[in-house]
Amino acid sequence: MTADFLITGGTGTLGRLVVPRLRDAGAKLRVLSRHPGADTVVGDLTTGDGVDEAVDGVQTIVHCAGTAKGDDRKAEILVRAAQAAGVRHLVFISVVGADRVPVVSAVDRMSFGYYAAKRRAEEVIAGSGLGWTTLRATQFHDLTLTAVRQIAKLPLALVPAGVRVQPVDAAEVADRLAGLALGDPAGLVPDLGGPRVYGMDDLVRGYLTATGRRRPIVRVRFAGRAYRAVRAGANLAPDHATGVRTWEDFLAAHTGR
């Protein structure tokens, strides 16, 4: 299957939204997956198996494959394959705060290792010699909802004190990412954040109300440099609150209220 674009993580939260946007724009693309399926090529970014074949002949890679850890290793494997294949443009989705949340201790890594891995992946891509574009986005609504649900399962809703988030809709991130992929390499582009900033306690309270539950909310102050940075707003992009869909709209669609 010939293609100009390769989408990694094309079946995930973000990638599955990017794929139809590029197809609607007329792009010929492949979707990299660890599992065989329609319109996918099999490859594993944790081992490198099948990645060279997936990248062969591709001009642009949209790298959406991300996990709680190991993003730096995935970037290294992908970059080596892209260099060998002569890829013109590598587009990467990162997280707001990757350059501002210090992860220097085991305590920091427990909750914020993801930020450090994203930052290392950014550096691998920027130093690759390839044309590249990196977009940092704030927390997706979907991932925020997952975190809030976990907190709400406990008899006491333990919320990190002073932590604020700026959830953004994954579809809006997909719009931006697809547009960037169709353009020329642009380096680090302006952040993309959701339209509002919320305290984590407010998000949990709103979820409990929407689902008809009652839980005491207990604010817990966590230690570590990373938490201090987040309490100071390192994970926020208030000057780039360009997302439109609010958390309230998203929550109503996913709770029926």
With beta carbons less than 8 A apart as the criterion, state whether 153 and 201 touch. Answer: no
With beta carbons less than 8 A apart as the criterion, state whether 185 and 89 touch. Answer: yes
105-129 pLDDT tens trace: 887 888 888 899 999 999 999 999 9
11-43 pLDDT tens trace: 889 999 999 999 999 999 999 988 877 678 999
Q: What does the domain layout of the chain look like in residue ranges? A: 5-255
Distance CA 110, CA 21 (A): 35
214-225 pLDDT tens trace: 999 999 998 899
CATH assignment, 5-255: 3.40.50.720
